[in-house]
Every structure is written in C-alpha cells, then in structure tokens.
C-alpha cells in the first residue's frame, strides 16, 4: 500500500503534530491509493503524499473527508487536497464583557516628570509596607499591595477619560422621525 514507508520529513510532521496536539487527517479516510498521493514526479512514475491536513485534536471529528483531486488544473505537479469540514457556528454564551473599575491614563507615564513622581510615590508606599508585621495574612498583604499601587497610580497618572461617542441620530433627525412614529 502507498505511504507505508516514511522518510525523515514524515517523522518530523508526526512529531510536530503530536507536540502541538494536532491530528494528521490526510490518511484517516478509506480511499483508493490514487486519492491519497498528491505529488507526482516529473517523469510521472513516482507518487508521494507530501501535502497534509492537520487539525486540532479537540476538533478533529469535524473533518468529514480528505482526499486529493487529480483533475484540478493548477499548473503544478501537486494535486489539489480537499477536506470536507462540518462547522457549527453558535453565538457566544458568555455575556459581553464590560469594563468595570478604573482605567489609568498610562500615556502619562511616558513623560519623565510623571514617571519620576510615580516612582517616588510607589517607593514611599512600599517603604511603609515593609514596616508592617510579617505575620500578616497573605490575602490581606496582597490587598494592601494592590490598593497601594492603585492609589499611587491615581495620584500620579489620573484616571483615563473614556471617549464620549456622538449619538447615532442627531436632534434634527429625531425631530423629523417623531411625527412619523405617531399613530395616524
């Protein structure tokens, strides 16, 4: 049977696929040998399979069939490799993420004076943290650290102001639209 022997490149593709959790789908479907090979030498006597379809192992069952078509005119000695894939598109079940909390204006950190001010403020806050007792709960220590960084950033960087988007319809359009919405 074709493709029982493999050269170094065949071993390399198998190693690559297993290291990336991929499956080589090109040989998993029963076909005649002429539908497996996808390259013919210029003399027309040697046939090999050198083009493969790799798919993530998690989704490998969505590939229904893989074969090469010899009739496609591609102006090359390779044959067209075609895969039939079943994909189901579903809407995301997660609600859209909204930004909660505070966003700092990080562009200000590029200014040298603001950067130095932030470094001084954060250094002072960490110096006070070092003076605290070492027997403190790790979660409480993390909360203190987080609050110190946030407070320092508020003092030095200020909060990022979100863009105010223009309304989709202006007042003039809404004025024209209002009478049309009224019942006749």
- CA–CA distance, 147 with 164 (Å, rounded to integer): 28
How far is the C-alpha of 179 from the C-alpha of 181, rounded, in Å?
5
pLDDT tens track for 117-153: 888 888 887 776 666 655 667 788 788 878 888 888 8
List, in sequence order, the alpha helices (H) in 33-163: 112-130, 138-157
pLDDT tens by residue, 42-95: 888 888 888 888 888 888 888 898 888 877 777 788 888 888 988 877 776 666
pLDDT in tens, 78-88: 888 888 988 87
CA dihedral sign of residues 94, 95, 96, 97: negative
Backbone torsions φ then ψ of 8, nearest 5 degrees? -60, -35
- Whether the Cβ atoms of residue 109 and residue 118 lie closer than 8 Å to each other: yes
């Amino acid at each position: 049977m074709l493709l029982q022997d493999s050269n170094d490149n065949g071993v390399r593709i198998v190693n690559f696929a297993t290291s990336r959790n991929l499956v080589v789908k090109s040989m998993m479907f029963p076909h005649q040998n002429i539908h497996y090979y996808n390259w013919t030498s210029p003399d027309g006597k040697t046939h090999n399979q050198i083009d493969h379809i790799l798919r993530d192992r998690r989704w490998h069952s969505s590939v229904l069939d893989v074969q090469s078509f010899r009739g496609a005119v591609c102006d090359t000695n390779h044959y067209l490799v075609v895969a039939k894939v079943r994909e189901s598109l579903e809407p995301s079940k997660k609600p859209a993420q909204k930004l909660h909390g505070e966003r700092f204006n990080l562009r200000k950190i590029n200014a040298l004076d603001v950067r130095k001010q932030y470094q001084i403020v954060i250094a002072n806050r960490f110096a006070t943290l070092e003076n605290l007792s070492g027997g403190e709960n790790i979660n409480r220590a993390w909360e203190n650290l987080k609050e110190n960084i946030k407070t320092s950033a508020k003092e030095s960087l200020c909060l990022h102001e979100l863009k105010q988007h223009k309304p989709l319809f202006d007042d003039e359009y809404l004025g024209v639209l209002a009478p049309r919405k009224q019942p006749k």
